[in-house]
Structure 1
Amino acid sequence: MSDSSSTEVLVALLRAQIAGLAVGERLPSSRDLIARHGVGPVTVSRAIAQLAAEGAVVTRPGSGTYVARRPRRADEAPDTSWQAVALSGRDHDPAADADETDGQSGALPPGVIALSGGYLHENLQPTRALGAALARAARRPDAWHRAPATGLAPLRAIFARQAGSGVSPEDVLVTGGGQGALSMLFRAVAVPGSPVLVESPTYPGALAAARAAGLRPVPVPMDDDGIRPDLLADAFAMTGARLLYCQPTFHNPTGTVLAPDRRRQVVDIARAAGAFVIEDDFARHLGHGGSVPRPLVADDRDGTVVHLTSLTKPASPSLRIGALIARGPVMRRLQGMRRVDDFFVARPLQEAAVELVSTPAWDRHLRALSAALRDRCATLADALERELPGWTPVRLPGGGLHLWLRLPAVPADAALAGTVLTDSAFADAARAQGVAVNAGRRYFPAEAPNTHVRLGFAAAADTAELTEAARRLAAAARSLGYSGG
């Protein structure tokens, strides 16, 4: 018998033997195979090599030959269970918070009205101005050159002017939107395992970013004037925290504006604790026509406030351009993290942002957006009052994209007396009626003191959809045994 035919016979015999063995079981040694089948060592070596090439066995020098994992059938579901061991040791899984931001996780089914999410409907976005700005930016001879790590000088100057006269372009670091900047900040400023103080309720994306950085969010209650300074001072003293995350202007989700007498007080309390204040100023361009207070960073001279802003909310979800404003060593640390994380923000997008906000079209867009948001906010609030009297929002905000609705505690159906209407149950009932809303529980870093839902008025197509959404929400309430009374 030739060597090749001997090898084929041995391969066939071994395949039959492997079929009856479990994954990881050891095959007989080469010496045993030679003795059992009456073949030479070359034949054994060739047979094992062929089976290894086919993926039937794995060889471990000095140990032996073992049955390999069987190839998966085309219709067989992937098995990723091995990753549980490889990923063990993480205190928190960032993927668990994948839905804890303001963006929709995907397109809503046809016919569902969007009162969830935190972006503008496409008919509120300055689409033509964005297209023209991007086209002009692309024609620049240096459009595809490497951008400075800190951002283009004209764009840094724009963000500095927006923040106030006390801020210079050297204090500005251009970022790829607000969420990435939050993640960078939490990793740069705080040590994993340490506490970070947050308003309660607060933006879920901030909670997700803090937890992904290994931080422990600690709630500080709010009232109608914003975060409570007395409880803030207590929280710093009890936790030893060195970081406060807050939204002083048109807070998400409540729409609260931090009262004038508290704005300096909050910064002073943080300064006395040796702590930073992250001021998330996402809604500066989302006012409804009234006055918008100066950002905290404008009156800060000691580097206590780290200011975060973005063009994403007032323009488009895909205009991922934002800025961090900071002074002192913390800025140098942030610049260092930029060089480690992603080097710089794409220059064409920065150039397009400069082109967009430097033209009269941007000012016209902001004026039109302000009027549209005011109209939508009033339309939804009025429709809720008609369809669900007694379910009034916590406040009618002077800016932002949302209403914060507290759910009633008393059902209309006497048979349901004593039951509690949960935010998740109402959100599910609303979805069944064709309206997507945000359950309020995820806005709280700890236990929620009351039951709320957040209703957005910017993602719907028009005011007619908002009116119809209120009607559907009333139907959802009735399906759970609650009326508007």
Structure 2
Amino acid sequence: MWKPDRLSAQPLYQQIANDLERRISYGEFPPGAMLPSERKLAEQLGVNRSTVILAYAELRSLGIIESRSGSGTRVSKYKWGATPKHTPNWHRYVEGGSFLPNLPFLRRIREALQQNPELIDFASGELASDLAPAEEINALMKVNQYTEYLGYNHPQGYAPLRKSLVQYLHQHRDIQTTDSSILITSGSQQSLYLITQCLLAPGDAVAIEDPSYCYSLPMFQSAGLRLFRLPVDHRGVRPEGIRSLYKKHRIKMVFVNPNFQNPTGTLLDEERRNELLRVTSELGLPIVEDDPFSLTAYDGASRPPLKSIDAMGSVIYIGSFSKIAASGLRVGWMVAPNSVVERLADARQQMDFGLSIVPQKVAEQFLNSDYFQPHLERLRMRLLYKRDLLIEALRKELPGLVSFMVPQGGLHLWCKIIPEVNDHRLLEEAIRRGIVFVPGSVYGSDSGYVRFTYGRSKADEIEPGISKFAEALRSVLS
């Protein structure tokens, strides 16, 4: 965000007025748009409120903005003194459309992190810089210069990467597949988006876990899908409810995250895995298996995905590099029947003509390099260390106030606050003290649950971060 230059000879209020006038002229704030309140803008820019008052007064004197008591400050519809003309009602357009915005809690968290990057981040579900293989990828890019034609690529993705994924999935996930059954995507969320848009129709019913990361994605509601929940306990999702959901609502698909589930961190046990496959096969229901965390198992043991024991071809398998390497690569994949892959590849090509070839090439090189396996081992070790720091801090700072299950892999710890608490007040109090987290209600749970993600925060931030959370919780409870 732009900030005024305190060393400039020009007064701060004039710099602010000039910046706002520029942004208005560029259309960032179109005619009729609401401007930030004086107090909020002062906080964003790190100046006194009186400075913003002077800046707004300057713009009002030029007829660029107008203020009304109780209604705030808006950009004038007639700011250049011209004859009144009709301008688009951008607010109506923004509020319209079929693709819904993010949930309010998630928008608030994003806003808080943008305004204050120094917040201790227990919310973002990505790896911190100390967990990503930045040095290894830089080394590979220096050695392997990209000299091929940089045109549109195969609709299913970069062919050498798909061939490498065949070997990777066989070696690490015990999945037998071919490169023609793999679609490269820009991460797991694009895979889910393509499925909801192309394989389902408005009004279709689907089953998701409860709580579930899927519940936090408005793309399901944007597609007009009806969501029905399958409870998750310490053994993972409970598949016995599928038959009743099928009978009552004719569900057409089941979405699960069996290994170190987001947000609970649970691992679906073997008995339930077999039951889930048996029930869905009897009903002819496809399963979408999202598997971003399996290779983060702290003991290094392989947790087989459903796809590896899928004898009937019922499972669409989704993976990505985001949780094991770097989210910024934006490289994910889907394993599905070739007819499904071709349908989704066609749809994705209509959207963007395919992914950038460069990150796919980097991912292919990293996957086949001597760096990959040592990186996974370091990643597990560092995540385990951060998890233990988080658990120690929770036990020290909040004895008797929280309960949780210790995850054996992944990035998330699911925490139940024992006393009744208001999610909104707790989040705002935590932000005021310098931390962010995701309230459990974002994932469909009742108020009083928290997802702490320890992949993004630095190790030396975890204890002070939980201390600040404890202060916020005690303040709200009191």
Q: Normalization by structure 1: what TM-score? A: 0.75
Q: CA deviation at 1:170?
A: 2.0
CA distance in 2, matches of 1:178, 1:370: 21
CA distance in 1, matches of 2:369, 2:79: 58
Q: Which residue of 1 aligns with 2:186?
A: 176
Counterpart residue identity of residue 122, structure 2: L
Residues 1:84 and 2:116 are matched in the alignment = no
Q: Which residue of 2 aligns with 1:472?
A: 468
Q: Which residue of 1 aligns with 2:255?
A: 245
Counterpart residue identity of residue 455, structure 2: A
CA distance in 1, matches of 2:407, 2:311: 30
Quick one: which of 354, 358, 365 aligns to 1:355? 365
Q: Normalization by structure 2: what TM-score? A: 0.76
CA distance in 2, matches of 1:481, 1:182: 39
Q: Which residue of 2 aligns with 1:318?
A: 328
CA distance in 2, matches of 1:311, 1:219: 28
| Cα distance change of structure 1 residues 94 and 441 upon mapping to structure 2, 3 Å threshold | same
CA distance in 2, matches of 1:154, 1:436: 40
| Cα distance change of structure 1 residues 232 and 101 upon mapping to structure 2, 3 Å threshold | farther
Unaligned runs of 5+ in 2: 1-75
CA distance in 1, matches of 2:412, 2:266: 11
Q: Which residue of 1 aligns with 2:101?
A: 95
CA distance in 2, matches of 1:141, 1:308: 30
Quick one: which of 372, 378, 397 aligns to 2:388? 378
Q: CA deviation at 1:262?
A: 1.1
CA distance in 2, matches of 1:480, 1:450: 14
Q: Secondary structure at the match of 1:453?
A: strand
| Cα distance change of structure 1 residues 451 and 361 upon mapping to structure 2, 3 Å threshold | same
Question: Aligned residue pairs: how many?
Answer: 395
Alignment of structure 1 residues 118-197 onto 2, 5 Å? 118-137=125-144, 139-142=145-148, 144-161=150-167, 162=169, 163-197=173-207
Q: Which residue of 2 aligns with 1:457?
A: 454
| Cα distance change of structure 1 residues 305 and 100 upon mapping to structure 2, 3 Å threshold | farther
Alignment of structure 1 residues 166-315 onto 2, 5 Å? 166-204=176-214, 207-315=217-325
Q: Secondary structure at the match of 2:114?
A: coil
CA distance in 2, matches of 1:307, 1:279: 5
| Cα distance change of structure 1 residues 359 and 393 upon mapping to structure 2, 3 Å threshold | farther
CA distance in 1, matches of 2:398, 2:307: 41
Instruction: Write out the 4+ residue segments of structure 1 that deviate beyond 6 Å after TM superposition.
Output: none
Residues 1:368 and 2:364 are matched in the alignment = no
Q: Secondary structure at the match of 1:174?
A: strand
Q: Which residue of 2 aligns with 1:12?
A: none
Q: CA deviation at 1:449?
A: 4.1
Query: Does the CA contact (< 8 Å) of 1:440 and 1:453 recur in 2?
Result: yes
CA distance in 2, matches of 1:208, 1:469: 29
Query: Does the CA contact (< 8 Å) of 2:205 and 2:251 recur in 1?
Result: yes
| Cα distance change of structure 1 residues 85 and 168 upon mapping to structure 2, 3 Å threshold | closer
Q: Which residue of 2 aligns with 1:28?
A: none
Q: CA deviation at 1:322?
A: 0.4
Query: Does the CA contact (< 8 Å) of 1:254 and 1:394 recur in 2?
Result: no
Unaligned runs of 5+ in 1: 1-68, 410-419
Q: Which residue of 2 aligns with 1:59?
A: none
Q: Secondary structure at the match of 2:183?
A: strand
- How much identity, in percent, do the aligned residues show? 25
RMSD: 2.7
Counterpart residue identity of residue 122, structure 1: S
Counterpart residue identity of residue 450, structure 2: V
| Cα distance change of structure 1 residues 477 and 299 upon mapping to structure 2, 3 Å threshold | same
Q: CA deviation at 1:368?
A: 0.6
Query: Does the CA contact (< 8 Å) of 2:180 and 2:338 recur in 1?
Result: no
Q: Deviations over 1:36-75 (max 9, x none)?
A: xxxxxxxxxxxxxxxxxxxxxxxxxxxxxxxxx965449x
Q: Secondary structure at the match of 1:267?
A: helix
CA distance in 2, matches of 1:367, 1:328: 33
Q: CA deviation at 1:100?
A: 4.8
Q: CA deviation at 1:82?
A: 5.4
CA distance in 2, matches of 1:84, 1:283: 40
Q: CA deviation at 1:432?
A: 1.8
CA distance in 1, matches of 2:209, 2:78: 52
Q: Deviations over 1:397-435 (max 9, x none)?
A: 0111111110112xxxxxxxxxx3122222222222211
Query: Does the CA contact (< 8 Å) of 2:120 and 2:461 recur in 1?
Result: yes
CA distance in 1, matches of 2:452, 2:95: 37
Q: CA deviation at 1:108?
A: 5.7
Q: CA deviation at 1:164?
A: 2.4
Q: Deviations over 1:439-467 (max 9, x none)?
A: 110101xxx345201111111122x2101
Q: CA deviation at 1:133?
A: 3.0
Q: Looking at CA atoms only, which structure, 1 or 2, has the larger radius of gyration?
A: 1
CA distance in 1, matches of 2:242, 2:297: 27
Q: Secondary structure at the match of 1:360?
A: coil
Q: CA deviation at 1:291?
A: 2.1
CA distance in 2, matches of 1:170, 1:277: 20
Please say which of residues 467-476 and 242-251 is displaced more in the overlay. 467-476
CA distance in 2, matches of 1:86, 1:384: 41
Q: Secondary structure at the match of 1:318?
A: helix
| Cα distance change of structure 1 residues 385 and 262 upon mapping to structure 2, 3 Å threshold | same
CA distance in 2, matches of 1:72, 1:269: 65
Q: CA deviation at 1:313?
A: 1.9
